[in-house]
């Protein structure tokens, strides 16, 4: 596919830059939390681009957005592709957006080449892939796959105690939460283009990653209740300092992840809220959010068990209450062999190097894989950096991704 490759990348780069500028933070920092004002502007921007490309756009009850290029046999289940445009605080410009705008670019290239899909090709923008607001990742794709029920979704609250119904109402999305659920067979097949968010491809000088498995993520919320008091007057013996207990817990998670016996096990405490949060007041309450992953579910669950054991031990020794609540603990997903074979054939035809690999980040594909044969295509990102403003993918890397995605979509939709 030679024609227009450079042109498409310029257009794609311009659109990625425009989307990155729609942020709650000053560029180059991207923050775009689901249903916040910047997210709504970003959704409008991308929907406009999809409409300009002649796709028919619909949104479900929580804002999952479906932009369909109608095939000659519209009654057939579509080939799906897509990703997310929400971004965590202090993020970069490429996580998720490459899989949305890159897929749109792939569709426009196929249109330009006069390709006529037999099966429709449907671009999806998933709502709330990031856990920032409601504490759980992949909210939209989880509900589509029925992994999170309408009742469970109804019960989700953000840090201000505001729920999904309130936020989706503000965003202008209506309809029953049950209607988000898609039946198996809604998609014929699904491919997600995404940056690797790791260093392998760049360090090995390989153009593309064919993802065979998506890691198994888990998240637990931990509340620690101790006893507050005057930092000067309350002597050390008998203190029940909630933050000192939290510090031991954080180190216990780190050591459990490091001693799992495999490099694939990771454990992170990304959120630590301290109450009352005054320098001269002993912390009486701490709230931790922990993220535990592995490509092997058993090993990951072993770390969860070790963390729960540490909670009990630290609680008894320090006289603090520790309550660990599991938010999610999902099995890994295996990607579809036939789609991987199609991606491999496309990469060869495009003269691009590739390697099969696992995804250590989770993605909406983790849940779409419950609905349809699914696979992911990775492009490198500089230094493996992601979830930071200096996240970067070169035009060449993106060109390879769009090129091979377009070829594969054409193969699957023919
Ligand atoms: O955390 C993740 O793996 C994804 O980037 N949300
Ligand atoms: Mn992310
Ligand atoms: Mn992502």
Question: Which domain-ending residue is among 280, 312, 329?
Answer: 329
Same structural domain, 170 and 277: no
| Residue of 363, 367, 376, 384 to mutate, ligand 1, most atoms within 8 A of C-beta | 363
CA distance 21 to 85: 12
Same structural domain, 376 and 401: yes
Q: Is the CB of 126 under 6 A from ligand 1?
A: no
Question: Which domain-ending residue is among 329, 352, 379?
Answer: 329
Ligand 1 atom with the shortest distance to the CA of 215: 3
CA 118 to chain centre: 30
Q: Is the CB of 129 under 6 A from ligand 1?
A: yes
Ligand 1 atom 3 nearest Cα: 361
Q: Give the CATH number of the domain where residue 352 resides.
A: 3.40.630.10
Cα 36 to middle of ligand 1, angstroms: 19
Cα 194 to middle of ligand 3, angstroms: 7
Same structural domain, 324 and 222: yes
Q: Are 60 and 106 in contact (CB under 8 A)?
A: no
Same structural domain, 253 and 295: yes
Strand partners, 273: 287
Q: Is the CB of 207 under 6 A from ligand 1?
A: no
Same structural domain, 79 and 141: yes
Q: Give the CATH number of the domain where residue 290 resides.
A: 3.30.70.360
Q: Which two tokens stand for residue 349?
A: 């035809």
Q: Return the axis-axis angle of helices 97-112 and 395-413, rounded to nearest 10°.
A: 60
Q: Which two tokens stand for residue 160?
A: 């201000």
Count of structural domains within the chain = 2
CA distance 178 to 148: 10
Count of residues making up the chain:
414
The ligand minimizing its distance to the Cα of 84 is 3
Same structural domain, 322 and 368: no
Flag whether 203 is in a domain. yes
Q: Are 201 and 209 in contact (CB under 8 A)?
A: yes
Same structural domain, 222 and 300: yes
Residue that the structure tokens 């579509």 belong to: 78
Q: Is the CB of 362 under 6 A from ligand 1?
A: yes
Cα 410 to middle of ligand 3, angstroms: 24
Q: List the chain pLDDT tens, one digit each, 414 residues.
A: 444 444 559 999 999 999 999 999 998 999 999 999 999 999 999 999 999 999 999 999 999 999 999 999 999 999 999 999 999 999 999 999 999 999 999 999 999 999 999 999 999 999 999 999 999 999 999 999 999 999 999 999 999 999 999 999 999 999 999 999 999 999 999 999 999 999 999 999 999 999 999 999 999 999 999 999 999 999 999 999 999 999 999 999 999 999 999 999 999 999 999 999 999 999 999 999 999 999 999 999 999 999 999 999 999 999 999 999 999 999 999 999 999 999 999 999 999 999 999 999 999 999 999 999 999 999 999 999 999 999 999 999 999 999 999 999 999 999
Instruction: Please give the pLDDT value at position 138.
Output: 98
Cα 319 to middle of ligand 3, angstroms: 40
Question: Which domain-ending residue is among 275, 302, 329?
Answer: 329
Same structural domain, 201 and 66: yes
Same structural domain, 300 and 337: no
Ligand 1 atom 5 nearest Cα: 361
Same structural domain, 107 and 235: no
Flag whether 4 is in a domain. no
Same structural domain, 221 and 211: no
Residue 279, domain extent: 216-329
ω before 276 within 30° of 0 (cis)? yes
| Residue of 32, 86, 137 to mutate, ligand 1, most atoms within 8 A of C-beta | 137
């Amino acid at each position: 596919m030679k024609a227009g490759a450079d042109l498409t990348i310029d257009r794609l780069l311009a659109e990625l830059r425009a989307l990155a500028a729609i942020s709650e933070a000053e560029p180059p920092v991207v923050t775009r939390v689901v249903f916040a004002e910047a997210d709504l502007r970003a959704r409008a921007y991308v929907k406009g681009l999809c409409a300009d490309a002649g796709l028919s756009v619909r949104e479900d009850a929580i804002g999952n957005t479906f932009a369909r290029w109608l095939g000659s046999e519209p009654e057939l289940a579509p080939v799906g592709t897509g990703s997310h445009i929400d971004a965590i605080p202090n993020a970069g410009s490429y996580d998720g957006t490459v899989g949305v705008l890159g897929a749109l670019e792939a569709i426009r290239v196929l249109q330009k080449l006069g390709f006529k899909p037999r099966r429709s090709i449907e671009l999806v923008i998933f709502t709330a892939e990031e856990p920032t607001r409601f504490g759980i990742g992949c909210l939209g794709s989880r509900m589509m796959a029925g992994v999170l029920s309408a009742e469970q979704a109804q019960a989700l609250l953000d840090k201000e105690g505001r729920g999904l119904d309130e936020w989706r109402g503000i965003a202008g999305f209506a309809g029953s939460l049950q209607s988000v659920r898609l039946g198996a067979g809604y998609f014929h097949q699904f491919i997600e283009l995404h940056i690797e968010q790791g260093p392998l491809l760049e360090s090995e000088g390989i153009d593309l990653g064919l993802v065979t498995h998506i890691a198994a993520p888990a998240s637990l919320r931990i509340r620690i209740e101790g006893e507050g008091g005057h930092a000067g007057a309350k002597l050390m013996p008998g203190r029940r300092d909630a933050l000192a207990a939290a510090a031991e817990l954080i180190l216990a998670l780190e050591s459990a992840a490091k001693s799992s016996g495999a490099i694939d096990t990771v454990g992170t405490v990304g959120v630590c809220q301290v109450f009352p949060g005054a320098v001269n007041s002993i912390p009486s309450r701490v709230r931790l959010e922990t993220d535990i992953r592995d490509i092997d579910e058993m090993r990951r669950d072993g770390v969860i068990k070790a963390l729960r054991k540490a909670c009990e031990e630290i609680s008894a020794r320090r006289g603090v209450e520790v309550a660990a609540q599991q938010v999610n603990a999902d099995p890994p997903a295996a990607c579809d062999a036939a789609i991987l074979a199609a991606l491999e054939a496309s990469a060869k035809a495009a003269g691009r190097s590739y390697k099969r690999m696992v995804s250590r980040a989770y993605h909406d594909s983790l849940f779409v894989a419950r609905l349809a044969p699914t696979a992911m295509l990775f492009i490198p990102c500089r230094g493996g950096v992601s979830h930071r403003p200096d996240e970067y993918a070169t035009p060449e890397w993106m060109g390879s991704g769009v090129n091979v995605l377009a070829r594969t979509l054409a193969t699957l939709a023919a």
